Amino acid sequence: MSTASVGSSDLKPGHPRRRPLQAAGLALAILSFQTLGIIYSDIGTSPLYVLNGIWSSSGPVPPKDDVIGGISAIIWALTLLPLCKYVLICLRFGTHEGEGGPFALYQGIYPPKFFETTPTHDSMMAGRKKRDIKPPKSLRWPMLIWALFGTSLTMADGVLTAAVSVTSAVGGIAVAKPSVASHVVAISTAFLLVLFLSQPLGTARLSFVFAPLTFVWLLLLAATGIYNITKHPGIFRAFDPSRAIMYFVRTGEYDTLAGVLLAITGCEALFANLGQFNMISIQISFTTLVYPSLVLAYLGQGSRLIVDGENVISNVFYRTIPGEHNGPLFWILYVYAIIATLIASQAMITASFSLVQQLVNMRSLPPVHMVHTSDKTQGQLYIPVVNWILMIATIVLVAAFNDATQLTNAYGFAVATVMFTTTVLIALQMRYVKLLPVIVSILFLGFFGFLDGLFWGASLKKIPHGAWVPLMLGIILLALMTFWTWAKGLEDRFDRKSRKRLEGFIVPEGANAAFGESEKHEGGEFVAVQEQDGSDNTNKTLYFVTPSLPDVNGVGEKEERRALSRLPLLAIFHGVSHERGVPPSFTGFLRQWPSLPTFGVFLTTRVLPVPHVDDVDRYVVSRVEVLPGFYGVAQFLGFRDEAALRMDEIVARIGALEERYAEADENKHAAVHRRVAQLQELARHPTHIIPHYAPKSRGLVLGRLTPIASYLRRVLIEDIYGRFSIMFPEGEAWLAPADEIIHVGVTATI
């Protein structure tokens, strides 16, 4: 159908040209500094509530050995998980573009069939004799559900991060102004309302101040920690790991691990945000500033808890600030604490927007309207429905739990589950992507899986006390994403099977059969023969051939021919399949409106298991010889790329393609320029033709269970998925105006 194409580079279409950010010297120092405002805002605000998460503000003061043991557990948790697991190991398992996170790991293990990943140097060297090592197909769906569960809990964690952090920071006002203690919930709600209501403005204008503010916040934590350590230098015994082990052996308080877990919330951000920076910058910032500042802060809090237990147990962070409770240093730290928690909340909200965009692009969530808030920075977007849901859920949690202590019981479960999810996926990556010896995967999974399992088990015991909230949210989101992935997969399979070749129903004037006068080319393909008179053939009459219904006697079917007129418009016929053939939206359009647009584009969208695709590889354009004025366009997207079409780029590539055809004939140049000018004019207001599938469940054969299974399947597909697909039609996530979209109904038996 096509004889040439433009838009493909020397690399294969969709090949991930992006590479991890490269920086050295001053540029690397600046990049490391910038990580502070994006990656560490969550883990950096943990000192606000960790010790009161271990020892309740209303409980007894812990003895000296218990305090040293608890601080030791915090220090070694920070050392083994954020430092060793994430900074030293996980950061090395990013994609070719330097992207991290559970979903990126899954896409690396099970990429789409049409995408060929380019192996790393390590995998090529290790895989010379092991190229037959592939992940088991039987694990694809379990691992997909596992990755989706981790993703759903990450979004649930976003709700709790804002609730816990802001409430903990605001709660400090009760230390200096006890009379205001009853208004903490109202003040926290006001801050959260301002935060969520400002989201439509975008974060581009504020993001440049996040890093300096977080930098000052971490320095304040380190400085106050050093001062407090001088009150009881014996707290340095917490560096002995046996103190942590003996603490749990002596007290038997396994539940305390749920409080220790609060110290490492946000460590997943070290890996998930890898694509925005690079491995070296994250390693430098964490090891030189973040890790030392947090360790000093916890040592200082432990020292003061030993010395002034009765006076500080009610609010360990604020009551261990040096000086008067109403002094200048207190208010400086109070203001910076609120700023730091708002930055942490902003980071989680932005992460939720990115996750939803990624899941929508990978067809695991219904398409929702997205607004891109920056013309310069890719990936900065605002999703209204997600923002309002997060706002309502966060405010409801703050009001329902009433104080930070109760909220911390709910916090942590999501973090522990996501950490364990990453451990399992990294172990699979070690074997099937990096092609390392299986013993390496087993050792990694055994050691870090054991640590993650300890924290996960402790957080499970918090389910009756509030952890049921993120678990419930995660299960609801997981059920929605799994159901949508399954139903969309059935619909996409129908789309692939329903595609037809143009020669089967479009025939030129004078053809005698449905396939026209045809000849057999090499490869056994039949193509319609058209008169090659040197013109562009746009004035030749074409017919739409479709079988009519059987006659009254039920004798066979008769062909029906309808002449197709030309409409002065550019129509884009959408499809998501990478199979050959025109999408059902085209045949459905011809049935309802027997006419052809002057220009048409058969658009195939392929979302690749990479975060971004370079502009040079974004579109590949080919010419449809059977249908003059029509082109095939393959659009390649990363799972974090904007889905809106770049019509100027498509038109430019079509023009380049037509110029290539006209090179051999000088007489065609003028006609080509006129056609391209006409195309550019029509491309200002293109018409998007999108199939709207009316799903119809096919029958099942399961013996005695057939009636029940068929009924449940029909309810899921026709009643639930069918209604949701009407509420969230394809194209909702684009930036195309509604009056430029035509939905063509197609009955899909799936």
DSSP sequence for 581-593: SB-HHHHHHHHHS
Rounded CA-CA distance 620/634 in Å is: 5
Report in angstroms the alpha-carbon separations of 484 from 235, 243, 345, 361, 713.
52, 49, 28, 12, 14
Considering its fold, how many domains does the chain have in total? 2
Report, in angstroms and rounded to the nearest whole number, the Rg of the chain calculated over CA atoms.
30
- Nearest-CA neighbor of 595 among 691, 687, 510, 529? 687
Bridge partner list, 608:
638
Q: Is 274 exposed, middle or buried (0-12, 13-18, 19+ CB in 10 A)?
A: buried
Handedness of CA 173, 178, 184, 186 (dihedral sign): negative
Q: Are residues 472 and 581 in the same domain?
A: no
**Three-state DSSP class for residue 161:** helix
Determine the Cα–Cα distance for residues 99 and 91; give it in Å rounded to an integer.
Answer: 9
How far apart are the C-alpha atoms of 309 and 302, rounded to whole Å?
9
The answer to whether 597 and 566 are in contact (CB under 8 A) is: yes
Sequence-separated (6 or more) residues with CB below 8 Å from residue 154? 102, 268, 272, 351, 352, 355, 414, 418
Helix, strand, coil % in the chain, rounded to nearest 5 = 60, 10, 30
- What's the pLDDT score for residue 665? 65
Residue 14 domain-assigned (yes or no): no
- Residue 645: its pLDDT value, please? 84
Residues 483-518 have pLDDT tens digits of: 999 998 898 888 888 888 887 788 776 654 443 333
Residue 730 belongs to a domain: no
The helix (H) or strand (E) run that includes residue 572 is: strand 559-575
Q: What is the pTM of this model?
A: 0.78
Quick one: pLDDT at residue 734? 60
Q: At what angle do helices 384-401 and 140-171 cross, to 10 degrees?
A: 60
Looking only at the bridges linking them, the beta strands covering 559-575 and 687-696 are parallel
Distance CA 724, CA 727 (A): 5
Cα→Cα distances 604→503, 505, 571, 575, 730, Å: 19, 20, 14, 5, 14
Residue 538's CB: how many other CB atoms inside 10 A?
Answer: 13
Both 237 and 152 in one domain: the answer is yes
Positions in the chain whose pLDDT score sits under 50: 1-3, 8-18, 20-21, 97-98, 114-131, 376-377, 512-538, 549-550, 552, 554, 556
In a domain, 245, yes or no: yes
745: enclosing H helix or E strand: strand 741-749
212 and 80, same structural domain?
Answer: yes
Q: Which residue is associated with the tokens 């891109």?
A: 372
Rounded Cα distance between 745 and 443, Å, is: 54
CA 2 to mean position of chain CA atoms: 35
Q: For residue 75, give the nearest of 64, 63, 84, 62 by alpha carbon.
A: 84
Question: Which CATH number belongs to the domain containing residue 226 in this structure?
Answer: 1.20.1740.10
Reference 351, options 166, 103, 167; nearest CA is 103
- Whether 286 is covered by a domain: the verdict is yes
**Domain with 145 in it:** 26-120+134-489
Residues 301 and 163 in one domain: yes
Tokens for 384? Answer: 């209204």
Residue finishing a domain among 656, 685, 714: 685
Nearest to 213 by CA among 45, 23, 394, 24: 45
> Same domain for 478 and 573?
no
Residue 195, both tokens: 């935060």
Residue 13 counted as domain residue: no
Residue with tokens 């995660």: 474
pLDDT in the model for residue 427 = 92
C-alpha 534: how far from its chain's center?
50
Q: Residue 530 CA to chain centroid, in angstroms?
A: 47
Q: Which structure tokens are listed for 104? A: 């990126």
Q: Are residues 82 and 184 in the same domain?
A: yes
Any domain includes 422: yes
Domain termination site, one of 455, 489, 523: 489
Residue 37 amino acid letter: G
Structure-token pair, residue 739: 């009056």
Q: What is the pLDDT of residue 482?
A: 92
683 beta partners: none
| pLDDT number for residue 530 | 36
Within a 10 A sphere around the Cβ of 518, how many other Cβ atoms?
17
Residue 738 lies inside a defined structural domain of this protein: no
pLDDT in tens, 356-401: 877 887 788 888 888 766 554 455 678 888 889 989 988 888 888 7
Task: Count how many Cα atoms sit within 13 Å of the Cα of residue 424 in the half-sphere of its side chain.
Answer: 19
Assess whether 390 and 272 both reside in one domain: yes
Pair (162, 304) in one structural domain: yes
What pLDDT shows up at residue 9? 42
Q: Same structural domain for residues 485 and 570?
A: no
Contact 414, 460 (CB under 8 A): no
Among residues 489, 524, 553, which one ends one of the domains? 489
Assess if residue 125 is contained within a domain: no
The per-residue b/e assignment along 91-111, b for 16 or more CB within 10 angstroms, e otherwise, is bebbbbbbbbbbbbbbbbbbe
According to the model, what pLDDT value does residue 535 have?
43
